[in-house]
Amino acid sequence: MKNIDVDKLLQDIFNDDVSFDLKARFDEKIEEYGITKTKALKLLSIDKDVFEDIINGTAKQPNLIHVVKIAEFLEVNVDDFIQMVLKNQNTENITSIDRARKVRFLMKNFDVKALTKEGFFENVDDVDLLVERVLHYFGYDSIRSFEDELVTPLYSRIKRKFSDKMKDFWVRSAYQTFKLINNPNEYDRERLKDVIVNMKPYSQDVKNGLYTVCRALYNIGVTVIFQNYLTTTHVRGATFIINNKPCIVLTDNQKKYPTIWFTLLHELHHVLFDYDAINTNSYHLSDDEDLFLIEEKANAFARDYFLPKTDFDYIKTYIKNAYVVERFAKDKEIHPSLVYSFYTWYQKELYDKNYHAAFKEFYPDYKVAVSRLNPIAWNEESVRVASEKIKAVFEIN
């Protein structure tokens, strides 16, 4: 007998593809074989009452060996027969089977404990509420539709060494958001180059700069969203290719204003130069442990864009003079916090000096910058609601 795919059975119990009358099939077989019901059950070594309980769905815990023997006698695929037996169970048994299916779904796809800590789940003891929360958030009406429609497009082209449930959740949320936003504008690579060339001064406007740039990118087919960081994922940003259009996710993993701009330029480098590689793999996570792109090229692109080493060599002498730094930043058309941020990086990289805790008073609140983008938080009602808010921001006249 071949191995029984229990996981598939749990998914298919509530599917209507397999359906036949068990009693009628048994009657057909004993007539075909020319034997009585009593004789058949004696040959199968199955008690009459046990048989009736299995066929009628009243057996509280159907004996698997008996089930398999009946399936063989009826010449029915074992998986299909078990599925029918399970479907015929009484309400109490069906409820317990459904719970097992839901538990499998949750354990397979989600880190319930971590997501509860993030505020996504509230009651971790009620399996029905947990499943309802997941399906509502992603916009699906059943476990089957979630697994068939959401997971397959993401992972069918990627060889995955292991499952990181939190990272998977983060990716699924972003992917579903982009699908719902469905940017109607065609991607224009040449116009993207123009936007990049001209976007630097907008970093000076904390309240409206990022919002303005992201709207300009949306108009040339590049969708940018801001999605809250998830603990343990180590994801700074990501680039997806959906419907042949680049989609970028920014996060607040370091909770710093300069990092948001750095991440945006980093991801735009991937869009410009790694488009085909990302398209082949569906998406790329920056700072992912399984890199297929050279991250340092994207990092260098962002650094050279905002503060190349020659600028660092000049400003390092005056870094403690806030007035000089402010004037320097203005001349370079960037926000002063970017000067401090890159100065900190160069000091660590070149001289192994740690200025991580320095200059924080010059860093504006990043939340002000992303607020107009309607950042996706884990206590959101649903991805659909968040997507509608984002579309309203991008498509306003």
Q: Tell me the two tokens of residue 281.
A: 């793999």
- The CA-CA-CA angle for residues 294, 218, 250, to 5°, reads 45
Contacts of 319 (CB under 8 A, 6+ apart): 325, 339, 340, 343
Residue 189 contacts residue 160 (beta carbons within 8 Å): no
pTM recorded for the entire structure: 0.81
Q: Parallel, antiparallel, or unpaired for β 223-226 and 237-242? A: unpaired
User: Which amino acid is residue 246, in one-letter code?
Assistant: P
User: How would CATH label the architecture of 6-89?
Assistant: Orthogonal Bundle (1.10)
In a 3-state reduction of DSSP, which class is residue 286? strand
Q: Closest by alpha carbon to 183, among 138, 223, 139?
A: 223
- The CA-CA-CA angle for residues 367, 369, 370, to 5°, reads 70
* Intervals of the chain under pLDDT 50: 1-2, 152-153, 156-157, 159-162, 290
- DSSP states of 8-32: HHHHHTT-SS----HHHHHHHHHHH
Q: Tell me the two tokens of residue 87.
A: 């479907």
Residue 239 contacts residue 248 (beta carbons within 8 Å): yes
- The beta-strand segments (E) located in 178-236 are 223-226
Check residue 290 and give its pLDDT: 46
Q: Is the dihedral of CA 204, 205, 210, 214 positive or negative?
A: negative
User: Which amino acid is residue 109, in one-letter code?
Assistant: N
Q: Closest by alpha carbon to 113, among 102, 125, 129, 98?
A: 125
Could you give the CA distance from residue 60 to residue 102 in angstroms, rounded to a whole number? 20
Q: Is the dihedral of CA 388, 189, 271, 334 positive or negative?
A: negative
Check residue 10 and give its pLDDT: 57
Check residue 25 and give its pLDDT: 87
Check residue 41 and give its pLDDT: 92
Residue 301 contacts residue 269 (beta carbons within 8 Å): yes
Residue 247 contacts residue 270 (beta carbons within 8 Å): no
Q: The tokens 């010449």 sit on which residue?
A: 75
Could you give the CA distance from residue 352 to residue 357 in angstroms, rounded to a whole number? 14
Check residue 123 and give its pLDDT: 73
Q: Where are the domains of the chain?
A: 6-89, 95-156, 166-394
Check residue 161 and give its pLDDT: 46
Check residue 93 and give its pLDDT: 72
Could you give the CA distance from residue 188 to residue 271 in angstroms, rounded to a whole number? 11
Could you give the CA distance from residue 355 to residue 337 in angstroms, rounded to a whole number? 13
